[in-house]
Amino acid sequence: MGPLVSYDHISADTNLLLAFIIGIGFGFVLESSGFSSSRKLAGVFYGYDTVVLKVFFTAAITAMLGLLFFSLFGWIDLDMVYVNPTYLYSAIGGGVIMGIGFIMGGYCPGTSFCGASIGKIDAFVFIGGLFLGVLIFAEGYPLWEEFFKAKFLGDPKISSALGLSDGIFAFGVILVALGMFWVGEWAEKKFPQPEY
């Protein structure tokens, strides 16, 4: 049945309204979870606070299981769900750049807007850097277009690449998440939060 816009069950305007409402809800969850604090976000790298890890794994599992059950009941066609095309080298390069920025600034793009919404100055600085990076990428695109488009892999699903059904893969992700939750609890005890 879904995605609803593709099947003309809702208009593009209704789709934007729903996206706006979901975005506000997402921002509320981020702020309630403490994601507006760069110290809390950076804590995952140092082991003293793994809330970020737990919240995002929980969100990923919830979305994954939701899509699987919706597919099972015929409410959504998983073949209609957009999967970003994979350009391996640019994905690795972008991941390294974002990872360095995350460790240095303590924010990812979404959480920087969360921090800015409550007036955090470091979040505004991070957003400025984000827009500067976008501008540099856009204006210099001809210089790195070949690298950006290198090693195109299509739009693969990890489950298909591993030769697993979506259900078995989902079960494996749940086991990995439980393992990460355990490691997170262990790390929080081993590396107590520093006093500021």
Are residues 113 and 146 located together in one domain of the fold? Answer: yes
Query: Could you tell me the pTM of the whole model?
Result: 0.73
- The confidence score (pLDDT) of residue 4 equals 58
Domain of residue 124 covers 84-155
* Helix, strand, coil content of the chain in percent (nearest 5): 70, 5, 25
Are residues 109 and 122 located together in one domain of the fold? Answer: yes
> For residue range 179-193, what is the model confidence (pLDDT) as tens digits?
999 998 898 888 877
State the maximum Cα–Cα separation within the chain, in Å, rounded to a whole number: 54
Are residues 68 and 91 located together in one domain of the fold? Answer: no
Are residues 50 and 127 located together in one domain of the fold? Answer: no
Are residues 26 and 95 located together in one domain of the fold? Answer: no
Number of domains in the chain: 2
> For residue range 127-163, what is the model confidence (pLDDT) as tens digits?
999 999 999 999 999 999 999 999 999 888 888 889 9
